[in-house]
Homo-oligomer: A and B are copies of this chain.
Amino acid sequence: MSRAYNFSAGPAALPESVLRQVQEEMLEWQGERASVMEVSHRGKAFVECAAAAERDLRELMAIPDDYHVLFLQGGATTLAALLPMNLAGADATADYVLTGHWGEKALDNARPLLRTNIAASGKAGGYVDIPPVGEWQLTPGAAFVHYTPNETIHGIEFRDIPDVGDVPLVADVSSNFMSAPIDVSRFGVLYGGAQKNLGPSGLAIAIVRKDLLGRHGRALPPIFELQNQAKNDSMFNTPPTFAWYVLGLVLKWAREQGGTAAIGERNRRKAELLYSAIDGSGGYYRNAVAPAARSWMNVPFFLPDAALDKPFLQEAEAAGLLGLKGHRAVGGMRASIYNAMPEAGVQALVDFMADFARRHG
């Protein structure tokens, strides 16, 4: 056996050096004479580990001091419900911009909680482009505008942050978290699950402008009140300690890679390599997304005939290229090339695709 290149959409590939460190210190962590999974979250060693992860994320993403960084249980879908509860009352209106599956799901979770307005949707066009920002039907005085900067299933990514005036922008960045430099100060909330770019599943991260919390006027169960997590360094209840620890190792790895700018450059090169291979295949491979809206993280593509999907996947697996099956909502193939995917992995995929096209052309 040997490790393969893993193009899974999430849970997704982690840096091998991180896995090796986890392996090495599995039974005894940092002189604690116990696994990191076995120690108290309130003990000195874990509190320092957790704080270091927050410091590193703040530095890597240049998160301003007037933002909380919350480490929470669950995933982005959990926050898709918790955020509307925490950002506004039931009579407020929130605008939702839909550019794919996850934007729809976020809306579904908000609907029972406040008034919602679909400010723009790419659904009628099959989610292959971003509705022009100038045409968004925004609600004056909305509590927030929600959008999904990268849609994992449809492979659509915003290259620019939309200007929505003074209304707080709330963004589900699950699938492009820390994938390139981003101006956090332009957002009210950035949130996402860790399991694509940052760590294992079971941990969600919310970067929240401090003034937005505690103003909703709802009677919430204390465990759903994000202000309680903010006041307790995300330890209002027992946090998912192992996932938090792995996140910390991934962030140290990201620093070693040269930080977010270097990672962003590499992600751009990886995406260009793959899209060039698709566009340069003489029509053998196709990506349906408008070029300006193509994701650097999730690259869906189609073969000339769906009957070729099965041999493509089988041969890819045999060649050590895993997780390439497209989401059932879109079909075809999808290569997720998150931060931890090395350029050599994308090169191996591109080489395989060229060879497959030759043999099955």
Give the B-binding residues of A (Cβ under 8 A): 1-4, 6, 8-14, 16, 19-20, 22-23, 26-28, 31-35, 37-41, 43, 73-75, 77-78, 80-81, 105, 108-113, 193, 195, 200-203, 219-224, 236-243, 246, 320, 322-323
Cβ-defined contact, B38 with A6, below 8 A: yes
Listed by A's residue number, 25 A-B pairs whose Cβ atoms lie within 8 Å are A1-B28, A8-B38, A9-B40, A12-B38, A32-B322, A37-B200, A73-B73, A73-B75, A74-B237, A78-B223, A80-B223, A81-B221, A105-B222, A108-B222, A109-B221, A109-B222, A112-B220, A193-B238, A195-B238, A201-B241, A202-B202, A202-B203, A202-B241, A240-B243, A242-B243
Which residues from chain B contact A23 at a C-beta distance below 8 Å? 23, 26-27
Question: Shortest 6 CB-CB distances between A and B: which pairs?
Answer: A202-B240, A81-B221, A23-B26, A4-B33, A112-B219, A109-B221
A27 contact from B3, B8, B75, B236, Cβ within 8 A: B3
| Sample of 14 further A-B pairs with CB below 8 A, known A10-B238, A14-B38, A20-B26 | A1-B33, A2-B33, A4-B33, A6-B34, A6-B38, A11-B40, A41-B201, A75-B238, A78-B223, A81-B221, A195-B238, A202-B242, A242-B242, A242-B243
Which residues from chain B contact A13 at a C-beta distance below 8 Å? 34, 38
Interface of A is mostly: loop
Cβ-defined contact, A239 with B14, below 8 A: no
Cβ-defined contact, A221 with B113, below 8 A: yes
Which residue of B has the minimal Cβ distance to A340? B38
Which residue of B has the minimal Cβ distance to A112? B219
Given A10-B238, A11-B241, A41-B201 in contact, is the A221-B110 Cβ separation under 8 Å?
yes
Cβ-defined contact, A27 with B38, below 8 A: no
